[in-house]
Amino acid sequence: MDQIAAEGMGKGRRQWNTLKALLPYLWPKNAGDIRLRVVMALICLMGAKAANVIVPIFYGKAVDALTVTEHALVTVPIYLLLGYGLARLMTVVFQELREAFFAKVSQRAIRQVALTIFKHLHGLSLRFHLERQTGGLSRIIERGVKGIEFLLNFTLFNILPTLVEIFLVCGILWGLFDFYFALVTFVTIVSYIAFTMWVTEWRLKYRRQMNDKDTEANTKAIDSLINYETVKYFGNEAHEAARYDLAMQGYEKAAVRSVTSLSAVNIGQGAIIAIGLVALMAMAGYGVENGDMTVGDFVLVNTYLIQLYLPLNFLGFVYRQIRQSLTDMEDMFTLMDVSQEIADAPNAKPLAISSGCLSFKDVSFGYDARRPILKNVSFDIGAGKTLAIVGPSGAGKSTISRLMYRFYDSQSGHIQIDGQDIKDVQQSTLRGAIGIVPQDTVLFNDTVLYNIRYGRPDATIEEVKEAAKLARIHDFIEALPDGYDSMVGERGLKLSGGEKQRVAIARTILKAPDILLFDEATSALDTATEREIQKSLRQVSEGRTTLVIAHRLSTVVDADEIIVLKAGEIAEKGKHEDLLALDGIYAEMWARQQEAASGG
């Protein structure tokens, strides 16, 4: 029991923390117009509830007037009915004004929360994104945003005002009649609320199961569709469908249990309200019979209970959704608690590029501390020079590019640009100074123009075309039916590997960085195209510090220096001719590739 109580307290604390995290977005600093809207919405809320509480009083008085004299039938009821109609109208007017005032507040809060989460996710490390599935992340944010909208609409302007109205009605009944009318009304409504919350709490486990299975199914679906080509290559459509259906089966079972258990809520709610109505009607009927109450009072009592019951009629749904919304919001705000593995130092300064010299000094790194990838790697690239890194797969070549961009930080050693340790400078300026053409080019599902211009979003169309010409892709783009406005498809699937690679090269050319990084930049190209682009790359890298990570040794023969990595360590270093003369690892790789190229 103690453990259950502790879990309940812990859950309550987490939900309260979630609400506290939301409050600053509803009452933002330096946003007087938003705060004024909140105040006006609350005033309209109070006006709506006051008008709503008056309605049954007018109704009851009108009924009494109808039972008095013949003369009163002509005058008094019309006056009371006009008051009744006006009170009803003002209830609606205040409610709609409240909605109008608060609409901008809620939508602004939703937008700001979503933007904050989005920015935070982009600030998290590559390790986080590699370990999390994108489909699950997008689902968490989507549900969290919807949760905020539901919570604002139903909790602030439905449940809380109804609770206030309950106390107002109980006070009025006590004042007009006696304590027992207020007591029966209060006990009925409180019993209704308590029962609904208790049963709904019991049913929440099915909702959690539905959420888990929904996220699992959505993640599998997105993962499968993103890897559409791979699925087709291996003919695994049926396998993917079976995986998706397995997750959906779990969702189906949880959903059936959730829907069928709803019957218990509805039956219990109906019974409690029926008992309360019977008790109040019996008391009011007895009062009418004794002459202590009028027929109008009988109608008034009945109207009040029904008026309170109607907004609570869907309390089970609302309470469940509120709890679910809090859970969804908690999941979303939990993402905000994920710390940035790679963060700017408190006193980080912008990177100041003078010549663009790059140095690795005794750099050691491993994605897992138990399995080192780089071991005491040291090298220097002088201003405007080109250094190539070659070696077998798994030697740690691409890891060097990730360390340069500070996707990860080395466990020991230093990486410096013009004498500045990259850990001491602002990441934005560091990444702004480096341009990369990666081995695996992924494009945005947008136009060719957008993807090239991504290198420098403010570039003119003429500058984009010039970059495309240098990347030897301008003529191909012009030949497309829609030219530069042609869509490239999800992850660039409408383009070939070589075409995607040339778009990536054009994008980097447009960025015009101080340091260039080519990570297997021509690996997806045929030999003829590779030769053309190598000329362009040499032209672009002229006067710029360039690091080339390559598998094809023919692409790096002109490098000022070549480093051969083996098992994370520098095994050989020198120019192409010097390394061939060593007759070591590089010479063996060269001979093997020359033999393969000649068809031998």
Question: Would you state the pLDDT for residue 566?
Answer: 87
pLDDT at 68: 58
What distance in Å separates the CA atoms of residue 208 and residue 200, rounded to the nearest whole number? 12
Which DSSP category does 560 fall into?
Answer: S
Q: How confident is the model at residue 474 (pLDDT cuts 50, 70, 90)?
A: very high
Q: What are phi and psi of 483, to 5 degrees?
A: 55, -130
- Residue 58 falls inside a structural domain: no
**Is 379 part of a structural domain of the chain?**
yes
Query: Do 366 and 330 belong together in one domain?
Result: no
- Chain centroid, CA 246 distance in Å: 26
Number of domains in the chain: 2
**Per-residue pLDDT tens digits for 508-541:** 889 888 898 888 766 656 677 677 777 777 777 8
Residue where a domain stops, chosen among 278, 304, 339: 339
> Are residues 224 and 317 both part of a single domain?
yes
- For position 372, which CATH number holds? 3.40.50.300
Does residue 600 register a pLDDT over 70?
no
Taking only the tens place, the pLDDT of each residue in 11-26 is 556 667 777 777 777 7
pLDDT value of position 463: 93
Bridge-partner residues for 412, per DSSP? 364
Provide the pLDDT for residue 3. Answer: 44
* Same structural domain, 368 and 448: yes
Domain that holds residue 411: 358-597
Q: In this predicted structure, what is the pLDDT of residue 132? A: 67
pLDDT of residue 414: 92
Mark whether 334 and 286 lie in a shared domain.
yes
Shared-domain flag, residues 226 and 302:
yes
pLDDT value for 5: 44
Task: Please tell me whether residues 295 and 398 are part of one structural domain.
Answer: no
Token look-up 């690679």 returns 501
**Mean pLDDT across 582-597:** 85
Q: Tell me the average pLDDT across 163-184.
A: 81
370 lies in the same domain as 492 = yes
386 and 324 fall within a common domain: no
Between the CA of residue 311 and those of 168, 184, 196, 425, 435, what are the distances in Å? 15, 18, 13, 57, 60
Q: How confident is the model at residue 6 (pLDDT cuts 50, 70, 90)?
A: very low
Q: How confident is the model at residue 415 (pLDDT cuts 50, 70, 90)?
A: very high
Are residue 368 and residue 312 in the same domain, yes or no? no
Q: What's the pLDDT score for residue 563?
A: 92
> What value does the mean pLDDT of the chain take?
81
CATH number of the CATH domain containing 189: 1.20.1560.10
Phi, then psi, of 203 in degrees rounded to 5: -80, -15
* One domain for residues 425 and 490: yes
Find how far residue 438's CA is from the centre of its chain.
Answer: 26
Q: Does residue 122 belong to any structural domain of this protein?
A: no
pLDDT tens-digit profile of 542-580? 888 999 988 888 888 888 999 998 888 889 899 999 899
Residue of 438, 388, 377, 395 lying closest to 548 (CA atoms) = 388
Residue 389's SS3 state is strand
Q: Which helix (H) or strand (E) holds 19?
A: helix 2-26
Asked, for residue 376, whether it belongs to a domain, the answer is yes
Confirm whether 269 is domain-assigned.
Answer: yes
Q: Is 87 inside any structural domain? A: no
Q: Is 409 contained in some domain?
A: yes
Q: Which residue has the tokens 């109804």?
A: 162
What pLDDT, on the 0 to 100 scale, is given for residue 460?
A: 93
Residue pair 382/357 in contact (Cβ under 8 Å)? The answer is yes
Helix axis angle, 315-337 to 2-26, nearest 10°: 80
pLDDT of residue 72: 46
DSSP 411-478: SEEEEEETTEEGGGB-HHHHHHHEEEE-SS----SSBHHHHHHTTSTT--HHHHHHHHHHTT-HHHHH
10 belongs to a structural domain: no
> At 93, is the pLDDT very low, low, confident or very high (cuts 50, 70, 90)?
very high
The reply to whether 184 and 299 lie within a common domain is: yes
The total of other beta-carbon atoms located within 10 Å of residue 452's CB is 30
Give pLDDT tens digits for 224-272.
888 888 888 778 888 888 888 888 888 888 888 877 777 777 788 888 8
Q: Residue 197: what pLDDT? A: 80
Predicted local confidence at residue 561, as pLDDT: 92
Q: Which among 311, 339, 367 is the end of a domain?
A: 339
Q: For residues 379 and 573, is the Cβ–Cβ distance under 8 A?
A: yes
User: What pLDDT does residue 249 have?
Assistant: 87
Q: Do 237 and 372 reside in the same domain of the chain?
A: no
Decide if 539 contacts 472 (C-beta within 8 A). no
| DSSP three-state, residue 559 | coil
